[in-house]
Structure 1
Amino acid sequence: MLERAQHENATEVTFVLPADSPSGDVSVVGDFNDWRPGAHPLAARGDGTRAVTVQMPAEQRVHFRYLAHGDYWFDEDGADGHDGQNGYVRT
């Protein structure tokens, strides 16, 4: 799930997953962090989910995927779209 907060020149996008699916560490990687695994790890929240918030420039199309333990790559079902290789979000 994606949560967004619009600001004047930026958009905060929060990437949210269930606490235990998939198990182990998960990070979100994409254009915004030069596809560096582990740069934006999801952390547990009190509501039983885990999440990370990333500030991005407004009015962009940003590609991303999740990377879980064991080199398991997966997509966000709630992304704004998919280009055949990655999901993307419009800020």
Structure 2
Amino acid sequence: MSLKKRYLRSKPVCKVTFSLPRGAAEGAQCVSLVGDFNDWNPEATPMRKLKSGEYHATIDLAQGRSYQYRYLVDTCRWENDWSADTYVWSMFGNCENSVVTT
């Protein structure tokens, strides 16, 4: 998994590309990027499957903030991002969420 950040000079936005590797999504039919930035809505940010089997999504995030997120595989299995900037306990207390800081 990897996070790629590209800061724009023209506005206070960071384009962040989220990636879930093939091994973490083995046999998946769909993967969604879910987090603070889309109100944890599993339908808001579907990820695109590449020929390599990885899933990618690029979104614009405001600079100078931190966002919690996770990957939702086949609407039933949660995955964290191994390359997240940090991790925090979810408000539900049973798992950690990945965090990206722009």
Question: TM-score if structure 1 supplies the norm length?
Answer: 0.88
Structure 1 counterpart SS, 2:37: helix
CA distance in 1, matches of 2:78, 2:50: 22
> Structure 2 vs 1, CA of residues 14 and 73 (structure 1 numbering), >3 Å: closer, same or farther?
same
Map of 2:74 onto structure 1: 69
Shift of 1:4: 0.9
Structure 1 segments of 4 or more deviating over 6 A?
A: none
Which consecutive residues of structure 2, in runs of 5 or more, have no partner in the other structure? 91-96
> Structure 2 vs 1, CA of residues 17 and 36 (structure 1 numbering), >3 Å: closer, same or farther?
same
CA distance in 2, matches of 1:42, 1:16: 9
Map of 2:93 onto structure 1: none
In the alignment of these two chains, the number of paired residues is 90
Whichever of the two has the greater Rg, that structure is: 2
Shift of 1:24: 1.9
CA distance in 1, matches of 2:69, 2:31: 13
What's the RMSD between the two structures over aligned residues?
1.5
Shift of 1:21: 3.4
Question: TM-score if structure 2 supplies the norm length?
Answer: 0.80
